Amino acid sequence: MFETGIPKLDDYLSGGIPSGKSLIYHTQPGVEGDIFGMQTLYWNLHKGHKGVYVASNSAPYAVKGRFKEFGWNVEKFDQLSIVDCFSALMGADSSERYVVSNPEDIVAIDDAISKAMENAAGGVIVFESLSTIMDHCGEKETLKYMEKWKKYSTAYDNVVICNFTAWPYAKSTLKRIKELFDAVITISGIAKRVIFGQYYGVSKVNWVAKSQKRSISFKVLRPGGVKIFIPKVLVTGPYNAGKSSFIHAISSRAISVDRLGTTVAMDHDFIDHKGFTADIFGTPGQERFDPLLRMLSGEAMGVFLLIDSTKPSTFPRAKKMLEMTRAHGLPYLVVANKQDLPDALSVNAIRKKMKIPESVPIISASVAKKQGVFEAFETLIDMITKAI
């Protein structure tokens, strides 16, 4: 199995891509989709696999520079080969091992690709842009040779991965593209005049017996690459439960609006941790700010409920705040803060006193010492992604 290196995607693919199989990143125009193929290639080079990058949109030096934008130095990998399908279009020389003398001739492209695939047997072949090859060589010809390249991948135990932008080609072409590949990952944007949100979805996987169509929001970070993005996670709880401290503990960039050391509006932060990113909003705990709590809870995808384990008198207020966020319809968990103090109630005692269902995690934490905070973050994110 070859992993894609895209957060959560390998889980959806039951571990990755089997050798001899093919996958296409099928991208809506205007969405940054080529990063998916790049990230998959870099991930596998880093794992020690052979790799081939079929460059059709840019010269090899520009390709390497683009990888560096994301913090990936591909020049250190001796097992990487680039099939240069670009330089000849510009009348430029190329020092790459595989150079296509006429990138508008599909036979010339096939000759270079077949040699590269044979020499990289057991490796990963990534097409920078199958749609660009299609533009140069024609839709029917490219589809015909794509079938041939798939047969090569089976013969040489390669995995073939293609970036493809779904420009307004013939309907038969767009249909055939999806039929050709063993797995289709659709990369789309939420748009209104401009694209303001991006997500990828698994629409086909023929090696998984009961594959589910899944979709998940993502951001592209420089450096960093593709990260799962949770647009809104709420941190709530009674006064002095440790909400601001919790947000500051999982990031050094949190912003608080406070007066005399007490949050009087909200905390906000963007968190990047282990392939996941999230916008986190913290609410003040005083009752006079309850209207703000109701407003902030709109469109939240998950909730952290912070409680002070040493103050059971605040638990009813905590449950009331939980109800105001409508969290019972969302993934949520309880962060039992101040567990390091001698008079803290145990997790079991808290569950019993608050009547928290067994299905809801209660994470033991000492926010001041950064204990349990990342466990809580990872647990909630996992709950959210499973619920999507």
Residue 330: pLDDT over 90: no
C-alpha to C-alpha distance for 39 and 48, rounded to whole angstroms = 14
Mean pLDDT of 133-156: 97
- Are 175 and 235 part of one and the same domain? no
Question: What is the domain count for the chain?
Answer: 2
235 with 218, same domain: the answer is: no
DSSP state of 35: H
Give the model's pLDDT for residue 210.
78
At position 388, the amino acid (one-letter code) is I
pTM: 0.86
Which of these three, 180, 198, 223, is where a domain ends? 223
Same domain, 196 and 336: no
Same domain, 143 and 18: yes
- Mean pLDDT, residues 293-321 taken together: 87
Angle, in degrees to the nearest 10, between helices 60-69 and 34-46:
80
pLDDT band at 98 (very low <50, low <70, confident <90, very high): very high
Handedness of CA 34, 38, 44, 50 (dihedral sign): positive
> What is the arithmetic mean of pLDDT over 320-328?
76
Q: Is 272 helix (H, G, I), strand (E, B) or coil?
A: strand
Q: How confident is the model at residue 194 (pLDDT cuts 50, 70, 90)?
A: very low
Domain membership of residue 264 (yes or no) is yes
209-237 confidence digits (pLDDT tens): 877 777 889 999 999 999 999 988 999 99
CATH at residue 14: 3.40.50.300
Question: Does residue 34 lie within any of the structural domains?
Answer: yes
* pLDDT at position 213: 76
Joined together, the tokens standing for residue 282 give 């913290």
Q: Are residues 246 and 117 in the same domain?
A: no
Model pLDDT, residue 344? 97
Residue 4 lies in a domain: no
Same domain for 326 and 265, yes or no, is yes
DSSP string, 52-84: EEEE-SS-HHHHHHHHHHTT--GGG-TTEEEEE
Final residue belonging to a domain, choices 174, 201, 223: 223
Q: Which of 151, 169, 100, 154 is nearest to 128 (CA)?
A: 100
246 and 159 in a single domain? The answer is no
Average pLDDT, the chain: 90
With the C-alpha atoms ordered 181, 187, 193, 194, is the resulting torsion angle positive or negative? negative
Same domain, 169 and 290: no
Q: What is the pLDDT of residue 329?
A: 74
Contact 84, 94 (CB under 8 A): yes
Tell me whether residue 374 is in a domain.
yes
Residues 244, 97 share a domain: no
Instruction: Flag whether pLDDT at 114 surpasses 80.
Output: yes
**Pairing, β 276-282 against β 362-364:** unpaired
Cis peptide before 60 (omega within 30 of 0): no
* Residue 12 predicted with pLDDT over 60: yes
Q: Which domain holds residue 35?
A: 9-223
Query: In the block, which residue shows the tokens 């991208």?
Result: 27
32 vs 42, residue with greater confidence: 42
Q: Is residue 208 part of a domain?
A: yes
Where is 109: in which H helix or E strand? helix 106-119
In whole angstroms, give the CA distance from residue 387 to residue 315: 27
Q: What is the mean pLDDT of residues 76-93?
A: 97
Percentage of the chain surpassing pLDDT 70? 89
pLDDT, residue 270, reads 87
pLDDT value at position 387?
74
Residue with more model confidence, 32 or 102: 102
Do the Cβ atoms of 296 and 266 come closer than 8 Å?
A: yes
Burial class of residue 75 in the structure, from the number of CB atoms within 10 Å of its CB (0-12 exposed, 13-18 middle, 19+ buried): exposed
Q: What is the mean pLDDT of residues 94-106?
A: 97
Looking at per-residue pLDDT, the higher value among 260 and 182 belongs to 182
The answer to whether residues 254 and 215 belong to one domain is no
pLDDT (average), residues 10-36? 95
- Cis amide prior to 223 (ω within 30 degrees): yes
- Looking at 223, 239, 261, which one is the last position of a domain? 223
Indicate if 132 and 208 belong to the same structural domain.
yes
User: Does 13 share its domain with 155?
Assistant: yes
The confidence score (pLDDT) of residue 292 equals 65
Q: What is the pLDDT of residue 53?
A: 98
pLDDT at 6 over 90: yes
Q: Report residue 388's pLDDT band, with 50, 70 and 90 as the boundaries.
A: low
> Please, what is the end-to-end C-alpha distance for the chain in angstroms?
25
Given a cut of 60, is residue 169 above it in pLDDT? yes
**Contact of 132 with 63, CB cutoff 8 Å:** no
pLDDT for position 263: 44
Question: What does the pLDDT read at residue 386?
Answer: 81
Q: 301: exposed, middle or buried (C-beta count within 10 Å: 0-12, 13-18, 19+)?
A: buried
How many CB atoms neighbour CB 113 within 10 A?
A: 25
Tokens of 233: 């996670």
Write down the pLDDT at residue 327: 56
Query: Residue 2 falls within a domain, yes or no?
Result: no
Domain-located, residue 3: no
pLDDT at 364 over 80: yes
Q: Are 341 and 310 in contact (CB under 8 A)?
A: yes
